[in-house]
Amino acid sequence: MKKILYIGNKLSSHGNTVTSIETLGLFLEIEGYKVYYASSKNNIFIRMIHMIFKTIKHSKEIDYVLIDTYSTLNFWYAVIISQLCRLLNMKYIAKLHGGDLPKRLENSKVLCKLVFKNAYINIAPSDYLYNAFSEKGFTNIKYIPNTIEIDKYLFSNKQLDFPRLLWVRSFAKIYNPLLAVKVLIKVKEKYPNAILCMIGPKKDDSYDETIQFAKDNNVEVLITGKLAKEEWVALSVNYNVFINTTHYDNTPVSVIEAMALGFPVVSTNVGGIPYLIENNKTGFLVDDNDVAGMVKNVENIFKDVQTTNFVIANAHELVKKFDWEIIKKEWIQLLK
C-alpha cells in the first residue's frame, strides 16, 4: 500500500470551501492509498508548523508528498515543504493551482526553480498551466485535470423562462462577486423578475461590500453563505444560468459542476477559462469585469434557445471526461 502525505489547506471545518486536499485525498483513500494530511489548523503559522512536523514525522514511511501549490501567500507552504523534502530525500509532487500562478513564475524565478525543477513531477490541472510551465522550460510536468464524480450531478433541462442566476464561489476580491450583482441590476431592466443566488463562504471584505452594494441599489440577492456540495446542488434546480465573474482563474471545479448539472455558463475570459470553455460552443465568454458583455450573453441565452441548448449539450459531453473513474487511471499510473 502506497503512503502519501498531502500538504494543503484542509479548512472546510472552519467554514472554508472544500479544496483538492479533501476531494482528491478522499478519492485516493478509496483507491487504497494511505493518506496523511497537513493541515487543518486554522491559524496560518500554526498550519505551517504542523506541515513541517508531519513531513518530518512521516519522512521514513512516505512514498510521495503531494503539495497543493498556489500563487499567493500559500505559495510559501510549497517553498518550505518542498525544500524540506529535498533535505529528507522525499519525492514530492507539486499540484498546481491558481490562475495567477504564471505571474508567480515570472516574479519569483529563483523560488519557482527551487520548487518546480526539483519536484518528482508537477501536476497541471489545465492546458493553461501546462503551457505556462512548458514555456518557462519545465519538462517534469504532467496534465491531470480536476475531477468530479459525474453521477453525483443530475443533469436537468433548464426552463428558460426568465433569468435565474446562480453564482458559486468564495467571496473574495479575485472572484469579483460585485460583478454578479451589477449584472443582475442590468438584467432586471429587461427581465424585472430576474433573480440571483450567491453561494460561498466569506474570504475577505468583498462579502460585506456585495451585500451593501445590493442594498444601496435596492436589489434583492439571496446570499446563502457556505453550503455543502449536496446542499447547493439541490438548491441549483431553482436556477437556470450559471455566472462566473472571476478576475483570475484556472479550471474551477464549480464551473465543471455547473456544466454537469446542465447550466449554460457565462464566464469571464481569464486564465485557464478559455482552455475549458469554447465561446458559443461549450459556454459563453466575456472580458474581465465586462458588465455589458455578461448582460448581453445572459439575455441571449433566452433569445436564442437553440444555441443555448447546443451549448448545454456540448458542455455536458465535455465534462464527462473529468469523471474520477477516468481520471483515476492517471493518478494510479503516476503513483505506482
- Chain segment 176-198, per-residue pLDDT in tens: 999 999 999 999 999 999 999 99
- Beta-strand ranges (E) seen in 261-323 are 265-268, 284-286
Which pLDDT belongs to residue 72? 86
Concatenating the DSSP letter of every residue in 106-133 gives HH-HHHHIIIIITSSEEEESSHHHHHHH
Which carries the bigger pLDDT value, residue 75 or residue 14? 75
Position 29, amino acid: E
Which pLDDT belongs to residue 166? 98
| 13 pLDDT above the threshold of 90 | no
Which pLDDT belongs to residue 23? 93
Domains annotated for the chain, with CATH where assigned, are 3-144 (3.40.50.2000), 150-321 (3.40.50.2000)
- From 3-12, 41-50, 95-104, 267-276, the region with the lowest mean pLDDT: 95-104
Which pLDDT belongs to residue 21? 95
Section 93-117 average pLDDT? 94
- In this prediction, residue 139 has a pLDDT band, given cuts at 50, 70 and 90, of very high
Using only the alpha carbons of the chain, give its radius of gyration: 20
pLDDT above 70 covers a percentage of the chain that reads 100
pLDDT per position as a tens digit, 287-316? 999 999 999 999 999 999 999 999 999 999
pLDDT per position as a tens digit, 29-72? 999 999 999 999 999 999 999 999 999 999 999 999 999 999 88
Q: What's the mean pLDDT when you consider all of the chain?
A: 96
pLDDT per position as a tens digit, 228-269? 999 999 999 999 999 999 998 888 999 999 999 999 999 999
Sign, Cα dihedral of 22, 27, 29, 35:
negative
Nearest in space to 242 (alpha carbons), one of 256, 223, 228, 224: 256
- In this prediction, residue 98 has a pLDDT band, given cuts at 50, 70 and 90, of confident
